[in-house]
Structure 1
Amino acid sequence: MNSNCFSRNNFIALKFSSLMFNKRLRILNLNNKRTSKSSADDRYIRGYNEIPGPKALPLIGNSWRFLPVIGQHRIEKIDVMSKQLREQYGDIVKVDKILSRPDMVLLFDAEQIEKVFRNEDTLPFRPSMSSLNYYKHVLRKDFFGDEGGVIAVHGENWLKFRTKVQQPILQPQIAKLYINVIEETAELFVSRIRKIRRKNNEVGENFLNDIHLWSLESIAQIALDIKLGCLDDAVRKDTEILIAAIHTFFANVAILEFKVPFWKIFNTRTWKKCITALDTMRNVTMKYITQALEKKLIQTNNSSNENASLLQRILELDPKNPKLATILALDMFLVGIDTTSAAVASILYQLSQHQDKQHILFNEICSILPNRNDKLTTKELQRLIYLKAFIKETFRMYPVVLGNGRCLTKEMEICGYQVPKGVHVIFQHYVISNSEHYFKNANKFEPERWLKHNKEQTHAFASLPFGFGKRMCLGRRFAELEIQILIAKLVQNFHIEYTRQPLEYEVQPLYLPKGPLSFTFSDRT
């Protein structure tokens, strides 16, 4: 009996020890799960408040960081600020509690940017120019009505407008119909350079304005089939007024959008400048748009007219609604001049700084167009591979627009954090495309990385100069053609140099070299 009792007690003791061991093991495993995440971070989604970022102060939040004198960040140096934030906080950074603005989440991860793009709904909200939105939908609603265009417009009205106009604008075969017109304007610009350069072949310090004139002339030809005479010896007064208004708008809209929005409370001087500039742009462009409409070149069965302007093509889609074509043309003038001009200025500067690359490009152009009088066609443009690579490399290192973004229309998990609806997610393309994580020797200007024989694998979302998805730049096809043809003509005719002190890039508000663009254009022999 004592033996049985001993065995039974021994068994109970062993069983109890086993249960206690298993219990301790379960507790240990549970603690491990709570204190660590899997490498894929699949089962552990952190809260929005856990996203790292600069701490907001009581009452004034993070707004003080962008104020004059006491602030840490300048609009002109957003590129530097973005790099600093990534180095300090990582691939996702929250900047919250900015006066009168939604929270911002800055994203420095190409895979996560792709994820946001791939998951956007039919009405993606792109946070852009709230001041222009107010101008179109409140201040000048009597003119725009429900046809607000594609710039600073969202929701059903944006979708209806874009759906109507995107077919003749985004189709590559339509854009190629304008090669001859774009080439003619580029040749006029070559002639203008020969007239305005000095004895040392150097152009004046205000050469960026001359590039603006070329861009305006190109858009007028494409959109309206009208020659404004921007590149003539005596530039029209209307043209000068329009260029000045566009420059004033872009110089001031950055202040309205990036700094404390006092304009929403009272009419600030910056706000008044912007409104005056927008009204001037609208009035001058409407003059030329009206002229184009009065030409009455379009007929009911004229859809096969290859020489038709974009205005005419849009009118063909909806003959009873001329406002549709009018507002599209306005948007093209609004955002198509400064952006294309800035891109050309940046490309010319990079050509001047990389003479070996310019030499390679010149040889390619000579092999495809041996005679300077040879006209460009689609076939020749397709063969200018190094030209496209050079442009693409410029956009990688010095994108005209440093970032893009979306206002989330639904809650979403990003980088392991749950980000709520309404937050502005900003895609920091400039930082990503200049990162060693995505590009080997990222700080070196190497167009060769974009050639087919190069085996370097590049993430498709690591460099997006024209955006992506439903809100991709609507004028991309035309902008690419304008830039490619102009650069080809300039390199074909001139050896391009910059003999002054090297320039630094700044946001002005587009990203381009800060200083006099006094290039030296020496004739090729």
Structure 2
Amino acid sequence: MLSASSRCGRQVAVALSRGHATAAAAAVKGTTAEPTEEWLRAKPFEELPGPKPLPIIGNTWRFLLPSGDYKTTDMANMMFEMHQQYGDIAKLVGIPGRRPMVFCFNANDVEKVYRNEGPRPVRDTVQSIKYYRGVTRRDLFGDVQGVATTQGEQWYEFRRRVNQPMMQPRSSKLYVPSIDQVAQDFTDRMLAIRDESMKMPPDFLNELNKWALESISLVALDTRLGCLDGNLPPDSEPQRLIDAVQVMFDSIYRLEMRLSPWKLVSTPTWRRFVRALDYFYETSMKYINAAMERIKAKGEDSSGDLSVLERLLLQNDDPGVACVMALDMMFAGVDTTSNAAAVCLHLLAKNPEAQERLFQEVLAQLPQSPSQPLTAAKLEECRYLRACFREAMRLKPIAPGNARRVVVDDFVLGGYRIPKGVDLVMGHPQLSVSEQYFPQADQFRPERWLKGPDGKSEAQSAHPFASMPFGFGPRTCIGRRFAELEVYTLVARIIRRFRVELEGDIQWRTGLILFAASPLKFKVIDRDR
């Protein structure tokens, strides 16, 4: 018996052979709508290159068996291999529990996906968090699920409520003094944990996690948690929060990216995940409730600039909106930001000329001493600092890819018909290091992002969709401004105070995000001015 797709394919072939273009399109789309010429010219989805699934087990064996193509636990490496094997567009089907996926490795195709996503883009949700909030702890979250787990009108309404406090430039600028103080405290701590050889300890990434948590808690919870206070005991609240975030990221990767029966039975990974989320929720809510009490105490006569949390609470009738947004900020603002800072420091340590140029730029803004106030205006003048971060995120983007789901009936990509419901994955880690888009793509050259005398930068000649570390459009990273502020401030403070060197290289791996898979072997030497 012919499958539905086979019958459909034969109907199309017959219709086209007889010259009935409209009938052919209707056979594919199941509709009488007038087809586009692009759709009629495109090849069927079945012809799209990609690993062929086997009966029953599909493509699962490629990830599990020793003989499989994608044994690696590194998501970015798997995508690099697919690009090398199948070209600029490839499909992956036959993975239990996953929709068909199409990987896009051409910037023109990526742009087309983003340009056609509409005001309510759909992407694959984090199913484990969605289940936790919508089923396991629905008594706590109700219908307020946040931006990571919702779609359509529910997502749009939540995003509309939080966009202004989160995305306005003035919102992040209000935090420059307090975020800068955290960065200064961190450089003081670097002195305390440095050994006699000027080396940072092997667990320096955990120290960066402490800095990131302390920074984002200022925004999300209106408080400092004390993450930089001496050596935190393993059972201290800040360290337990950091551990919870790492458990969450590791568990999500295991639950979402690997075969796991967690939707059917409670697995050990699922139980660890729930315990971590429970602790994270309970601890965060303690500080959110304290902020709500402060707002009540102020009353209607509140004056001065309001914090992001205060604005979220005051501008929404439902306090759950502010609570969930604060939780999402805390959840997404630790490992991502700490590893972004680590990448930037790693590349500056490997490129001493770029580090010296950055030092001279920061020195011009803080000429008297490293402890001078770093204001928003001074940060604006640090153009090379921003270029260093932009170049670091081009070479090693924290997110391994961005995804969108096809929601129209006649979408064509790379010359192929893409059915409604397919997940499109944009291969930004591959695009951003391609010589096709960036000359000397493997080199750390921050100056490519700086404008020359003609008012243009070298990077402006590259495809605008080749490097997009924070995504694009309505679903762009909602915490971008705060993440950038935190990394800019920390890197400026460290480079102003220390010369950073590398003792051996650092290994990186991509799971749910890019992370340091080996110790951060930094050596920091005091500046003499």
The two structures have a TM-score, normalised by structure 2, of 0.88
Deviates most, 464-473 or 454-463: 454-463
**Paired residue for 1:433?**
432
Residues 77-476 of structure 1 mapped to structure 2, 5 A cutoff: 77-235=74-232, 237-296=236-295, 298-302=298-302, 305-306=304-305, 308-318=306-316, 320-371=317-368, 372-411=370-409, 412-453=411-452, 454-455=457-458, 457-476=461-480
Cα displacement (A) at 1:301? 4.8
Q: Secondary structure at the match of 1:76?
A: coil
Q: Is the 8 A contact 1:91 1:108 kept in 2?
A: yes
456, 477, 495: which one pairs with 1:491?
Answer: 495
Counterparts of 2:39 and 2:137 in 1: how far apart (Å)?
A: 49
Q: 1:487 to 1:74 in 2, by over 3 A?
A: farther
Cα displacement (A) at 1:321? 2.1
Q: Is the 8 A contact 1:186 1:486 kept in 2?
A: yes
Cα displacement (A) at 1:78? 2.2
Cα displacement (A) at 1:164? 0.6
**Paired residue for 2:14?**
none
Q: Is the 8 A contact 1:136 1:148 kept in 2?
A: yes
Cα displacement (A) at 1:298? 4.5
Deviates most, 132-141 or 122-131: 122-131
Q: Secondary structure at the match of 2:333?
A: helix
Q: 1:406 to 1:508 in 2, by over 3 A?
A: closer
Counterparts of 1:494 and 1:301 in 2: how far apart (Å)?
A: 45
**Paired residue for 2:25?**
none
Cα displacement (A) at 1:281? 1.0
Counterparts of 2:78 and 2:186 in 1: how far apart (Å)?
A: 37
Q: Is the 8 A contact 1:113 1:427 kept in 2?
A: yes
Q: Is the 8 A contact 1:219 1:333 kept in 2?
A: yes
Counterparts of 2:213 and 2:221 in 1: how far apart (Å)?
A: 11
Q: Is the 8 A contact 1:124 1:406 kept in 2?
A: yes
Q: Secondary structure at the match of 1:264?
A: coil
Q: Deviations over 1:388-420 (max 9, x none)?
A: 111111100100111001111123111111101
Q: Is the 8 A contact 1:224 1:309 kept in 2?
A: no
Which sections of structure 1, spanning at least 5 residues, go unmatched? Answer: 1-26, 28-39
Q: Deviations over 1:106-134 (max 9, x none)?
A: 00111111111111123211214211111
Deviates most, 468-477 or 363-372: 363-372
**Paired residue for 1:17?**
none
Counterparts of 1:272 and 1:326 in 2: how far apart (Å)?
A: 23
Q: Is the 8 A contact 1:65 1:73 kept in 2?
A: yes
Counterparts of 1:301 and 1:120 in 2: how far apart (Å)?
A: 43
Counterparts of 1:106 and 1:301 in 2: how far apart (Å)?
A: 54
Query: What is the aligned residue count?
Result: 483
Q: Secondary structure at the match of 2:324?
A: helix
Q: Is the 8 A contact 2:39 2:417 kept in 1?
A: no
Q: Secondary structure at the match of 1:232?
A: coil
**Paired residue for 1:37?**
none
Q: Deviations over 1:301-354 (max 9, x none)?
A: 53x522x32110111212x42211111111111111111011011111111111
Q: Is the 8 A contact 1:229 1:235 kept in 2?
A: no
The two structures have a TM-score, normalised by structure 1, of 0.89
Q: Deviations over 1:178-232 (max 9, x none)?
A: 1111101111101111111111111111111111111111111122221211111
Counterparts of 2:304 and 2:93 in 1: how far apart (Å)?
A: 53
Q: Deviations over 1:48-96 (max 9, x none)?
A: 1111111111111111112254533245322222122112211110001
Q: Is the 8 A contact 1:188 1:231 kept in 2?
A: yes
Structure 1 residue identity aligned to 2:501: E
Deviates most, 461-470 or 362-371: 362-371
Q: 1:229 to 1:52 in 2, by over 3 A?
A: same
Q: Secondary structure at the match of 2:320?
A: helix
Counterparts of 1:179 and 1:197 in 2: how far apart (Å)?
A: 27
Counterparts of 2:299 and 2:287 in 1: how far apart (Å)?
A: 20
Counterparts of 1:474 and 1:350 in 2: how far apart (Å)?
A: 26
Counterparts of 2:63 and 2:298 in 1: how far apart (Å)?
A: 51
Cα displacement (A) at 1:154? 1.7
Cα displacement (A) at 1:455? 3.8
Q: Secondary structure at the match of 1:299?
A: helix
Cα displacement (A) at 1:518? 2.9
Counterparts of 2:489 and 2:458 in 1: how far apart (Å)?
A: 28
Q: 1:493 to 1:309 in 2, by over 3 A?
A: same
Q: Is the 8 A contact 1:494 1:523 kept in 2?
A: yes
Q: 1:335 to 1:208 in 2, by over 3 A?
A: same
Counterparts of 1:188 and 1:211 in 2: how far apart (Å)?
A: 12
Structure 1 residue identity aligned to 2:515: L
**Paired residue for 1:515?**
518
Counterparts of 2:320 and 2:299 in 1: how far apart (Å)?
A: 18
Cα displacement (A) at 1:42? 8.6
Counterparts of 1:349 and 1:331 in 2: how far apart (Å)?
A: 27
Structure 2 residue identity aligned to 1:428: G
Counterparts of 2:52 and 2:304 in 1: how far apart (Å)?
A: 60
**Paired residue for 1:18?**
none
Deviates most, 483-492 or 273-282: 273-282
Greater C-alpha radius of gyration: 1
Structure 1 residue identity aligned to 2:427: Q
Q: Is the 8 A contact 1:76 1:509 kept in 2?
A: no
Counterparts of 1:74 and 1:207 in 2: how far apart (Å)?
A: 29
Structure 1 residue identity aligned to 2:116: N
Counterparts of 1:486 and 1:408 in 2: how far apart (Å)?
A: 39
Counterparts of 2:264 and 2:351 in 1: how far apart (Å)?
A: 49
Q: 1:329 to 1:405 in 2, by over 3 A?
A: same
Q: Secondary structure at the match of 2:404?
A: strand
Calculate percent identity across the aligned residue pairs. Answer: 39
Q: Is the 8 A contact 2:144 2:324 kept in 1?
A: yes
Q: Does 1:50 align with 2:47?
A: yes
477, 482, 485: which one pairs with 1:481?
Answer: 485
Q: Is the 8 A contact 1:344 1:483 kept in 2?
A: yes
Q: Is the 8 A contact 2:435 2:441 kept in 1?
A: yes
